[in-house]
Chains A and B, each alone.
Chain A
Amino acid sequence: MNDEIWFSIKLSLLVSALSTIFVAVIGGAIAYLLATREFKGKAILEVLITLPLIMPPTVTGYYLIVIFGRNGYLGKLLFDMAGWSIMFTWQAAVLASFIISLPLMVRTAQAAIASVDITMRDSATMLGYSEWQTALKVVLPLAKKGILAGVVLAFARAMGEFGATLMVAGNIPGRTSTMPLAIYSYAASGDWEKAHLLVLILTLTSGLFIFLARQFEIKSGGRS
């Protein structure tokens, strides 16, 4: 295996791992909020979070450029403050993977948290536990298998992310070329041997993660 292939494998793992950490923390908090609270704008928040799941990733990538691009709403602010733009960096690949895989985590974890009987939460509350303590000691342990399924699915989705990553991180060999992007480059240049190898690795890892997610879902009662 040459250095380029190794780099794309390592970058994919790094991007997916970091993206999954953010997805687990932020997505977990959003899922908890959506599963346990009624508030104004809840439906809009759910739609916004779910959109990347059904929109073409290039469209999501386009929105990310509008927001985080050098002249974007947040991108300009960041550049003025730090003199740095996230565009065409590996961090942009993390951002793209985060946004694309967030709905998978939120939807799966939200269902798992909502399935915890409200009487469990009420009982903990009546025993003097704050909402935060109740979440940590009662709700999350009871919903952990569903939440883990969401984390695993988010990781698998991040590993396979292509469209939005291409839009915001580009396909720069040795800098932002994740496995899916490298496969695209190898296939476009007719380097089928390398493309085959990466396709095989990506298929096996994705299959493994989907199998793991399925096992967690079954154990958490999400499937029959």
Chain B
Amino acid sequence: MILAAVFKKKWDRFHLDIAFQMNEGLTVLFGASGAGKTTTLRLIAGLLPPDDGHLELNEAILFNAAQGINIAAQHRFMGYVCQKHALFPHMTILKNIMFGAKDLPAHLRQERARELIATLRLEGLEQKHPHEISGGQQQRVAFARAIIRKPQALLLDEPFSSLDTITRVKMRACLKSIMKDLHIPVIMVTHDIFEACHMADNMLIYSAGRIIQEGAPAEIIRAPATEEVAALTSFTYYQTVPPADYPD
């Protein structure tokens, strides 16, 4: 086990209560909107404080409510890429990527950034600003910035949802090639069952703040635990079942 998370988080009308463990590879958090997937990612990142639970990464305790341990997000060494890419518009592409390596000396920062620019096929864009490049290129810059400091885990919040279908397919391949070199746990939130099946080693199905099934995508699709899981993971369900018959 590389990453183990147990979280409880309560808001007025929403109660998240989840527990899972994972090794390196890609785990997809899958489920309907508002089920708690992004909240889970933010709890792991340290951007939200859990009410209770614990989080371990590579045997280091990052959060433990009982022991009063809560390592700040800045010191968790996790890469984080969100749907909006969140590139800094006032910096060039090169500076955006270098920004991710604050602990490296200046010359190494530039060297490492240029390596990633070559790996992710971003040559020629170094001096451009984010608004001057395409969505797919922005996404690759966001990946480069997130991995330049060699994070211990990578958190991806619907990273491809704003991209067109062709770019999306290319970016999936790009992410797979990045993962080959990183050997770290990658957690990705997606609403796209095709994407989940294509990318995931393991899939966690969320419903109303709970994980209702866990396993390899093929296993889940072959043997869904409930009608809800069957509906969520079916490629054809919503084309064939009338809305009145959808599970609650």
Docked-complex contact A126 and B79, CB < 8 angstroms: yes
Q: Residue A120 at the B interface, CB < 8 A?
A: yes
Q: Does A117 contact B (CB under 8 A)?
A: yes
Other-chain residue from A119, A127, A129, A141 in contact with B145 (beta carbon distance below 8 A): A127
Q: Contact at B90–A126, with CB atoms within 8 Å?
A: no
* Contact status B90-A128, CB under 8 Å: no
A120-141 contacts to B (CB < 8 Å)? 120, 122-130, 137-138, 141
Residue on A nearest B100 in the bound complex, by CB: A127
Q: Is the CB of A126 within 8 A of B80?
A: yes
Q: Which chain A residues border B79 with CB–CB below 8 Å?
A: 126
A142 and B89 contact, CB distance less than 8 A: yes
Q: Cβ of A141 and Cβ of B73 under 8 Å apart? A: no
> Measured between C-beta atoms, what is the minimum distance from B233 to chain A in Å?
29
Residue of A nearest to B77 (CB): A128
Q: Name the residue among A127, A129, A142 with the largest chain B CB count within 10 angstroms.
A: A127
Q: Are B90 and A122 within 8 A (Cβ)?
A: no
Partner of B149, one of A122, A128, A141, A142: A128
- Tell yes or no: B102 within 8 A of A by CB: yes
In the bound complex, do residue B47 and residue A120 qualify as a contact, i.e. CB atoms below 8 Å apart?
A: no
Tell yes or no: B168 within 8 A of A by CB.
Answer: no
CB of B181 closer than 8 Å to a CB of A: no
Measured as residues with beta carbon below 8 angstroms from the partner, the interface class of chain B is 20 to 34
- Chain B residues whose CB sits within 8 angstroms of the CB of A125 once the complex forms: 47, 73-74
Cβ contacts B142-183/A at 8 Å (1 or 0 each):
000110010000000000000000000000000000000000
Beta-carbon contact of B86 and A127 below 8 Å: no
- Residues in A with CB closer than 8 Å to B102 are 127-129
Interfacial chain B residues near A127, Cβ < 8 Å = 99-100, 102, 145-146, 149
Contact across chains for A123 and B74 when beta carbons are under 8 A apart: no
Q: How many residues of A contact B (CB 8 A)?
A: 16
A127 to B47 Cα, complex, angstroms: 12
Looking at chain A's contact residues, the main secondary structure is: helix
Given A125-B47, A126-B80, A127-B102, answer yes or no on A119-B86 (Cβ-Cβ < 8 Å): yes
Contact of A117 among B86, B90, B100 (CB under 8 A): B86
Q: Which of A125, A126, A130 has the most CB of B within 10 A?
A: A126
Contact string against B for A residues 20-57, beta-carbon threshold 8 Å, 1 for contact and 0 otherwise: 00000000000000000000000000000000000000
Q: Which chain B residue lies CB-closest to A138?
A: B88
Residue of A nearest to B73 (CB): A125
Output the least CB separation between B230 and chain A (Å): 34
Flag if A142 contacts B82 (CB, 8 Å).
no
CA distance A125 to B72 in the complex (A): 9
> B74 to A120, Cβ gap below 8 A?
no
Asked whether A122 and B99 contact (CB < 8 A) given A127-B149, A128-B75, A130-B74, the answer is no
Q: Are A122 and B86 in contact (CB under 8 A)?
A: yes
CB < 8 Å: which of A117, A129, A137 contacts B84? A117
Q: B47 and A122: CB pair below 8 A?
A: yes
Query: Closest CB of chain A to B153's CB: distance in Å?
Result: 11
CB-CB under 8 A from A122, the residues of chain B are 45, 47, 80, 82, 86
Question: Which B residues have a C-beta under 8 Å from some C-beta of A?
Answer: 45, 47, 73-75, 77-80, 82, 84, 86, 88-90, 99-100, 102-103, 145-146, 149
Interchain Cβ contacts under 8 Å between A and B, 5 examples: A119-B86, A122-B45, A126-B78, A128-B102, A141-B90
Top 4 A-B pairs, shortest CB-CB distance: A126-B80, A119-B86, A123-B86, A127-B100
Q: Which residues of A contact B (CB under 8 A)?
A: 117, 119-120, 122-130, 137-138, 141-142
Interface contacts beyond A122-B82, A123-B86, A129-B74: sample of 17 additional A-B pairs, CB < 8 Å, sorted by A? A117-B84, A119-B86, A120-B86, A120-B88, A123-B82, A123-B88, A125-B73, A126-B45, A126-B47, A126-B78, A126-B146, A127-B100, A127-B102, A128-B77, A128-B102, A128-B149, A130-B74
